[in-house]
Amino acid sequence: MRIRIKIKHLVLATASAVILLSCYLTVIEPALNRYAAEQTIEQGGVPAMETLLARLANAKDGKDKWELIRTYILEDGGDSIVNGFDVRIGPGTSQSTGSAEPKKPQLAWEEKLPYLEAYAESGPADGYLPRAAKQLVMYYNANRQPELAINVLERVRGRIADSWQSAQLGIDQAKLLTSMGRDEEASAILDQVLASNEKSRNYTMLQQLTELQATLLLRKGSIDEAIAKVKADTAAYKRELEQLKPDAAGAKNDQASFQLEALQRLAEQLETSRYEQGGGIELSSVSGTVKRSDGKPLGQIGVYLRQEGAVNHSVTEDEPYQVLTDAHGHFVFPDVLPGYYQLFIGLDYEQIDGWAWAVRANEWIEVKSGESLSRSVTLEPLIAIVEPVNNEEITGESVHFEWEPVDGAAYYELSGNIHIDGSSSGTLIRGRIKDHRADVPLTELEASGGGIQYKSVDGTPKGKQIPDPISLLGFAYREGKFSWSVEAFRADGTMISRSNGYRLNAETVGELPFFRLPGRSLTEADRLLLADRFAEALTAYKKEAEANPEDTHSLRMILRSYDAKSSMDGRSATGEEATIPYLKRLYALVPSDRYLFRLFDYEARTRNWTEAEKYYASYVARNPDKDHSYEDAIYASGLLEQGKYAESRELLLASVQADGSHRFVGNLLAAELLLSDGFESALELAMLYPEHNFGQTPANWLAQLQAMKQEAAGKRDYQSQLRQAIEWHFSGNESKLKAWRTDSDRAAMKVFLNMLEEVG
């Protein structure tokens, strides 16, 4: 509570002087001192720390002390491994929780520990008490003191009247007991929690209960019971929701759908693991260290081992694998289910300032049954850029990009950004650069394009959206604002570091990666485009391209205009055939890989395999060191249509092995089924290369093959019918496929063919 007293109110009658003096010494002066101290604390910095620590040390037990602890310790988010950090970083993503402006002083754990313990022991039994317990548990766990964590949870649960908060702490206690091998105690607490949650039916808590009960069953070796438990609970929760009245179901459904999907994924994960392990599952452990490349360990860092089905959204409180690193940067996750995961970390701004954890989107951790896996995180210094910087204006017909070399880098990738009204669109300018510099002609820069951004016609967020003309012009819009960045890679394709990241103070900010391009007069077509007159602009670009056979700008804008028309019409191939003559002309003038790929992709989709093979061969020849697994997979799919099954399988296998997402594994399995009798070899491939689809639920090819194997039992013609259906699929024989779907009773086979249509 802040006490604000105007000094003029102290000027009272002389007769009251003695009373005033006493009042000033016992009430007013302490209040003024407290106000001044709070102002110092709120400003942050070293004086703030000293002032706060002094106030905490001098505060007596009571209202003032508990308020200080609540304001400056319990409200800092430190009770949450998820929300207690400024930045969360994972494969291909970085999420900031808000402003990098100075905030309330953050005490070190050793400084706030005695105050947390005091609050847990004798502080008010209010909503802050569970937060104090959670912070203490986080600290004790990070420092390998589980008994102290169990003790504080037990004591605080006994002091809390709120059944929901007590139940949540009970789940935390059961998790700890389970990790310590004290399964019977954990099971007893879960029974208590389940009984107390019967009325509230909090589905986040129910999900955690089911997951813990399944873990306890797995520890006993009861895999079938664990799967049955998860499925039964999921079905029960669904039935409960269906029975709710419509006006009461909305909020419950919103809360429960997320948890129900998580439990469905868990059941699927358990069944897949059971199949792969031949019936049994052993829990595993994942451990490691978070440190900087200069050797400094990072203590009290949040580490999240995230299940595959959860990585398409922000880290949430109910995800099962979350921990803090200890003072040496170590972390450990016991009792991890077999499956695929990604590692994320949480840091404060000062910990990430000037550093980067360079990890790409498709980097997965495969946890196998019963193994102890080690995975560490190393932060590298951000790459220092040299030129162009600080809004430098480029005067020539090319841009010279340069950056400081990175030790161990085999090559670099150069990207650019086009900034429009507070947003930006990024694009790869050039890949596989062997040196720490590159000269990029303006024609190549313009060819790199960039994504199409949109704007509202009436200026409102919900208004009609149309492509933003500036994004279509891209680097050809000379009044635009442009920036660049670079990433460094080892020879095996793993990223070392990058130039873009958190640079938050004078020592780390370095040069700013912005530049301007030389002036280029807008054409009449450009002005029509900028006026949102798309159809007229396209006509004008065509006229200019006919008048000047070497007009690369007009040719490029014809392609971009058709792309924009496709996006507005909601069809990906609007007028695509009409663009091909312009695309061929443009590729002859600017032999960009982007244009070459578009030609190859068009011919492949229209099944003109003679032309497609010509463009594919050119692409591979131009990029001998580049990862062209995507192009390989498209070409291999064409080989399937042509009946070249063995050649296709070989190329698809290499493509899937090179691509961490395994997005074309479905086509590989189809090729394998065409070449083999039975399902065993295809099942083995499905286990080795499960599909990972970031942002969406991946196709479970293993489960579908198992379903087909079961469906095929006793049916002698099943394999031949499957081969025929696969051949029809790749040859585009839709009429025969449609007739077969109508007549056939092979449900699992139909699902497999439907899944093939979504490959890529």
Tokens of 670: 């189809």
**What average pLDDT does range 341-366 have in this prediction?**
90
Q: Which of 511, 508, 518, 504 is nearest to 486 (CA)?
A: 511
d(CA 414, CA 418) in angstroms, rounded, equals 14
CB 88 within 8 A of CB 330: no
Residue by residue, DSSP assigns 281-328 as ---EEEEEEEEETTS-B-TT-EEEEEEGGGTTS---TT-S-EEE--TT
| DSSP-derived secondary structure letter, 695 | T
Residue 231 falls within a domain, yes or no? yes
pLDDT tens, residue by residue, 434-457: 999 999 999 999 998 878 888 887
Residue 744 falls within a domain, yes or no? yes
Domain count, the chain: 6
**What average pLDDT does range 635-648 have in this prediction?**
94
Q: Which domain holds residue 640?
A: 627-756
- Residue 357 identity (one-letter amino acid): W
Residue 255 has pLDDT above 70, yes or no: no
pLDDT score for 199: 59
Alpha-carbon distances of 591 from 582, 614, 693, rounded to whole Å: 13, 15, 32
Together in a domain, 190 and 272: yes
**What average pLDDT does range 276-283 have in this prediction?**
80
Together in a domain, 496 and 396: yes
Residue by residue, DSSP assigns 411-438 as EEEEEEEEEETTEEEEEEEEEEE-SSEE
Which stretch of 103-117, 388-402, 640-654, 740-754 has the lowest confidence by average pLDDT?
103-117
Residue 245 has pLDDT above 50, yes or no: yes
Q: Which of 726, 722, 670, 682 is nearest to 706 (CA)?
A: 682
Greatest distance between any 2 Cα atoms in the chain: 113
Together in a domain, 389 and 516: yes
Helix axes 129-142, 146-159, angle to 10 degrees: 170
d(CA 531, CA 529) in angstroms, rounded, equals 5
The residues, ordered by sequence, that sit 6+ positions from 369 with a Cβ below 8 Å of its Cβ are 273, 276, 277, 280, 281, 282, 284, 338
pLDDT tens, residue by residue, 162-192: 778 888 899 999 999 998 889 999 999 998 8
* Residue of 72 and 22 predicted with greater confidence: 72
The residues, ordered by sequence, that sit 6+ positions from 291 with a Cβ below 8 Å of its Cβ are 297, 298, 329, 376, 377, 378, 379
CATH number of the structural domain spanning residue 230: 1.25.40
Residue 251 has pLDDT above 60, yes or no: no
- If you search the block for the tokens 């209040």, which residue do you land on? 31
Residue 308 has pLDDT above 90, yes or no: no
pLDDT score for 695: 61
**Among 234, 249, 280, where does a domain finish?**
280
Looking at the DSSP assignment, which residues form a beta bridge with residue 345? 89, 303
pLDDT tens, residue by residue, 647-661: 999 999 999 999 989
Residue by residue, DSSP assigns 80-148 as -TTTTSSEEEETTEEEE-S--S--S----HHHHHHHHHHHHHHS-SSTTHHHHHHHHHHHHHHTT-HHH
Residue 75 has pLDDT above 60, yes or no: yes
**What average pLDDT does range 263-282 have in this prediction?**
83
Residue 142 falls within a domain, yes or no? no
pLDDT score for 31: 38
Q: How confident is the model at residue 148 (pLDDT cuts 50, 70, 90)?
A: very high
**What average pLDDT does range 2-14 have in this prediction?**
30
- Can you give the pTM of this predicted structure? 0.81
Residue 340 falls within a domain, yes or no? yes
Together in a domain, 441 and 546: no
**What average pLDDT does range 373-396 have in this prediction?**
94
Which stretch of 55-64, 160-169, 320-329 has the lowest confidence by average pLDDT?
55-64
Together in a domain, 490 and 552: no
Together in a domain, 649 and 744: yes
**Among 590, 611, 643, where does a domain finish?**
590
Residue 131 falls within a domain, yes or no? no
The helix/strand/coil state of 451 is: coil
Residue 614 falls within a domain, yes or no? no
- If you search the block for the tokens 């006793």, which residue do you land on? 714
* Residue of 635 and 241 predicted with greater confidence: 635
Tokens of 124: 């008010």
Alpha-carbon distances of 697 from 15, 265, 307, 311, 328, rounded to whole Å: 80, 9, 12, 10, 36
Together in a domain, 501 and 578: no
d(CA 126, CA 744) in angstroms, rounded, equals 64
pLDDT score for 246: 54
pLDDT score for 100: 45
Together in a domain, 389 and 515: yes
**What average pLDDT does range 297-315 have in this prediction?**
89
Residue 349 has pLDDT above 50, yes or no: yes
How many other CB atoms are found less than 10 A from the CB of residue 301?
Answer: 25
Residue 8 has pLDDT above 80, yes or no: no
Together in a domain, 728 and 646: yes
**What average pLDDT does range 323-332 have in this prediction?**
93
Tokens of 25: 């010494």
CA dihedral 54, 57, 60, 61 (to 10 degrees): 130
Together in a domain, 325 and 372: yes
**Among 487, 520, 553, where does a domain finish?**
520
d(CA 433, CA 343) in angstroms, rounded, equals 29
Together in a domain, 395 and 515: yes
Looking at the DSSP assignment, which residues form a beta bridge with residue 629? none
d(CA 583, CA 610) in angstroms, rounded, equals 18
Residue 91 falls within a domain, yes or no? no
- Percent of the chain at pLDDT above 90? 54
pLDDT score for 315: 87
**What average pLDDT does range 357-385 have in this prediction?**
91
Residue 158 has pLDDT above 70, yes or no: yes
The helix/strand/coil state of 488 is: strand
Together in a domain, 291 and 371: yes
CB 132 within 8 A of CB 119: yes
Looking at the DSSP assignment, which residues form a beta bridge with residue 411? 489
Alpha-carbon distances of 674 from 408, 647, 740, 758, rounded to whole Å: 44, 12, 18, 19
Residue 38 has pLDDT above 70, yes or no: no
d(CA 229, CA 81) in angstroms, rounded, equals 29
| DSSP-derived secondary structure letter, 24 | I
Residue 115 falls within a domain, yes or no? no
* Residue of 662 and 456 predicted with greater confidence: 662
CATH number of the structural domain spanning residue 307: 2.60.40.1120
**What average pLDDT does range 419-448 have in this prediction?**
91
Residue 505 has pLDDT above 60, yes or no: yes
How open is the CA angle 518-582-639, to the nearest 5 degrees?
120
**What average pLDDT does range 703-725 have in this prediction?**
94
pLDDT score for 460: 61
What mean pLDDT, rounded, does the chain reach?
Answer: 85
